[in-house]
Amino acid sequence: MSYVDEVIETIIEQNPGEAEFHQALREVMETIRVVVEENEEEYRKNALLERLANPERQIKFRVPWVDDNGQVQVNTGYRVQFNSAIGPYKGGLRFHPSVNIGIIKFLGFEQIFKNSLTGLPIGGGKGGSNFDPKGKSDREVMAFCQSFMTELYRHIGADTDVPAGDIGVGAREVGFLFGQYKRLSNSYEGVLTGKGLTFGGSLARTEATGYGLLYFTNAMLKANDIDIAGKTIAVSGAGNVAIYAIEKAQQLGGKPVTCSDSTGWIYDPEGIDVALLKEVKEVKRERLTAYAEARESAEYHEGKGVWTVKCDIALPCATQNELLLEDAKTLVANGVLAVAEGANMPTTIEATEYLQENNVLFAPGKASNAGGVATSALEMAQNSQRLSWTFEEVDLKLKNIMENIFANVAAAASEYDMDKNYVAGANIAGFKKVVEAMNAQGIV
């Protein structure tokens, strides 16, 4: 059996019940096979792939807190410190009821390659909890965050592990987490990114993932002689990534006509009103029904459905496995030109393959959504310098980083005779740098 197949089998057997981690592992392993097979015995002897697929450390802890009725609640907290070959562990925290170790490991594993692609010195990690911030009061969210950090603080640090936001963790949560870290550690350091602008946050971090997605998508379209101007765009999600993807798509002349949350979706043929969407989601924390009520041109539908809308470009920006084979077939039948992932692993492997087989340009999340973590690394740099850069400075660096990622991904794909296979290109380019750093640092 080939070394790659052996490792896929062993890791899956040793980590039962972690479906999303298995999926992420398979996708990476299948596409780096060509690199490993150039030097298979060397990789096998050094157990390079086993070391890559086993986190350096994984932490699981109890998070007790008191709700507004005086009832004690208990959640589970996680931090998976996956790989520190190229820098301190870096990656977000997700607060969502679906969180379990398999989800955190899939996200942490993806983060290793994504962070490598940014060209910045950051390793891979991820954490979170099955806590659901939805419907909780600010005091309850604060109580949870303080309890979560009371355990987490001993494992993280500005040069060790730097968490940030992800689903369910935005500016409010990062603020509470930072406050408790500072109190417990008696030090004011850049231990989290995505902080508020008055206490060390970077301008453009809020916008970075969505803007970066569009910078990457635009670079990919241009390389394939497609102009984004005038294109109809279907977006899923209505959170941090989706909102700023919609905003930048409009600035580039595209026309986003959909968004969604976990209860329903909006079709707005006039184009999404991004100011209204921000008001509904960022300020009032309401459902998308409130958007439809405030806007005459918008239709609201219950359940899933954004991929049924005829579009030129699809941007899945909500969550994992939200674009299935059936959706890919509908998109292709409707003439989609490109799919670019804003979320982490939103497209199943079967759907990805179907899109690629039908010549749809496909941008994998670990490349196309890397703008968020890249700007987090820029926030770390500013904190270390005790300086703040302007919005324009950060945004320009972000744009350059995304265009470089696209160029490196496209070049890696071509080098291995897989022209335009950006999934393979991203995995190969990300993998090679991590492997070189791991090899140079010996058996650790």
Backbone conformation region of residue 289, classed left if phi is above 0, alpha if psi is from -120 to 50, else beta: alpha
d(CA 413, CA 422): 6
Of the pair 56, 415, the CB lying nearest ligand 2IT is at 56
- Residue 303 has which token pair? 């359940």
Of the pair 163, 425, the CB lying nearest ligand 2IT is at 163
d(CA 415, CA 425): 9
Examine residue 369 and tell whether it contacts ligand NDP (CB under 6 A).
yes
Residue among 344, 368, 421, 427 that touches ligand 2IT (CB under 6 A)? 344
Q: How far is the CB of 330 from ligand 2IT (least distance, A)?
A: 27
User: Catalytic residue numbers?
Assistant: 126
* Pattern 185-224, ligand NDP, x by CB under 6 A: ------------------------x---------------
Of the pair 145, 435, the CB lying nearest ligand NDP is at 145
Q: Are 3 and 36 in contact (CB under 8 A)?
A: yes
Backbone conformation region of residue 299, classed left if phi is above 0, alpha if psi is from -120 to 50, else beta: beta
Count residues near ligand 2IT (CB under 6 A): 11
* Pattern 151-190, ligand NDP, x by CB under 6 A: --------------xxxx-x--------------------
Beta strands, E only, 279-406: 299-302, 313-316, 338-340, 361-363
d(CA 52, CA 7): 10
Q: What residue 88 binds from ligand NDP, ligand 2IT, none (CB within 5 to 8 A, per partner kind)?
A: none
Q: Are 132 and 96 in contact (CB under 8 A)?
A: yes
Q: How far is the CB of 373 from ligand 2IT (least distance, A)?
A: 4
d(CA 19, CA 101): 10
Q: How far apart are the first and last CA of the chain?
A: 26
**What burial class does residue 136 get, using C-beta atoms within 10 Å of its C-beta: 0-12 exposed, 13-18 middle, 19+ buried?**
middle
Q: Which stretch binds ligand NDP (CB under 6 A): 24-32, 35-43, 135-143, 255-263?
A: 255-263
Examine residue 376 and tell whether it contacts ligand 2IT (CB under 6 A).
yes
Q: What residue 262 binds from ligand NDP, ligand 2IT, none (CB within 5 to 8 A, per partner kind)?
A: ligand NDP
Q: What residue 90 binds from ligand 2IT, ligand NDP, none (CB within 5 to 8 A, per partner kind)?
A: ligand 2IT
Kindly list the residues in this chain that would bind ligand 2IT in the complex (CB under 6 A). Answer: 90-92, 114, 164, 166, 193, 344, 372-373, 376
